[in-house]
Structure 1
Amino acid sequence: MELEKIDIHELLPQQEPFVMVDTLTYFDEKKTSTKFTIRKDNIFVEDGVLNECAIAENIAQTCAARLGYINKYILKRGIQIGFIGGIKNLAFSETPKVGDVLDTTIYVTEQVMEITLVNATVKCCDRIIATAEMKIAMANDVKLQ
């Protein structure tokens, strides 16, 4: 399956204008990657720069895209809602600008019942611009397709 051809809206519970990923670019059991092009009409762009809150949300939505892919294409069920349960060691080295493309990768370090722990790396122009550890807690409900 060509992941980049999947409509990202089919995988995410978020809807416009709050979608912070464009395409799913890689998926396996432990690693998931997405791309996101920063547009000037993004609600988190100020003076041509994407703020740091959007980068944290981009990481969370990469986690959501992973789970959406699992639910839709592997388990054959609806979207499951997740919540950020915690963020540790969130570090930024630079802030991206309009027109830049974020390449975000998460690595699952642990999964226990409805809690997933990930390490995340966000790159822009092949430079790491942000890293974090994130805990995602899943709701028990599954949204119908």
Structure 2
Amino acid sequence: MKLETIDIHELLPQREPFIMVDRLTFFDEQRTSTRFVVRADNLFVEDGVMDACALAEDMAQTCAARLGYVNKYILKREIQVGFIGAVKNMVVTACPRVGDVLETTIEVIEQVLDLTLVKATVCSGSQTLATAEMKIALANEIEEA
């Protein structure tokens, strides 16, 4: 399966207008990357600038895309819903503007039962916009398609 052919909506529990990733660009057991183009009609954009809190949501949805890929294409089951359990050491160096392309990468630091700890980085071009550690907790139920 080529990642560029996957409809991101199939991997995420979120729905429009709250989708913060456009495409899954890389996946392996330890690392996942997504791409997102900042658009003027985004809920988090005001006066052409995206709010910093949207970067945390973009990181979380990259985690969701990873989980969705694992569930759908590896485990062959419906996607699971996850929740942000904690955000630690978040540093935002700049907020993206309309038209910027965000490249978000998460690296799994540790996974124990239904908790996953990741290190996340959001970049636009060569500029790092934000970094953080996130703890993602999985809900016990599987979302129906």
1:20 paired residue number: 20
Equivalenced residue count is 145
Note the aligned Cα RMSD (angstroms).
0.6
Shift of 1:117: 0.2
Name stretches of at least 5 consecutive residues in structure 1 with no aligned partner: none
Q: What residue number does 1:85 align with?
A: 85
Instruction: Give the residue type in structure 1 aligned to 2:111.
Output: Q
TM value normalised by structure 2: 0.99
Is the 1:88–1:133 contact (alpha carbons within 8 Å) kept by the matching residues of 2? yes
Amino acid at match of 2:117: L
Alignment match, 1:11: 11
When normalised by structure 1's length, the TM-score is 0.99
Q: Distance in 1 between matches of 2:44 and 2:94?
A: 15
1:126 counterpart letter in structure 2: S
2:72 match: secondary structure: helix
Deviating 4+ runs (over 6 angstroms): none
Partner of 1:44: 44
Cα distance in 1 for partners of 2:2, 2:66 equals 15
Q: Structure 1: how far apart are the matches of 2:81 and 2:8?
A: 15
Gaps of 5+ in 2: none
Could you say what secondary structure the match of 1:66 adopts?
A: helix
- Tell me how far apart the structure 2 counterparts of residues 39 and 107 of structure 1 sit (CA, whole Å): 26
Per-residue CA deviation, residues 51-105 of structure 1 (Å, 9 max, x unaligned), is 0111100000000000000000000000100000000000011111000000000
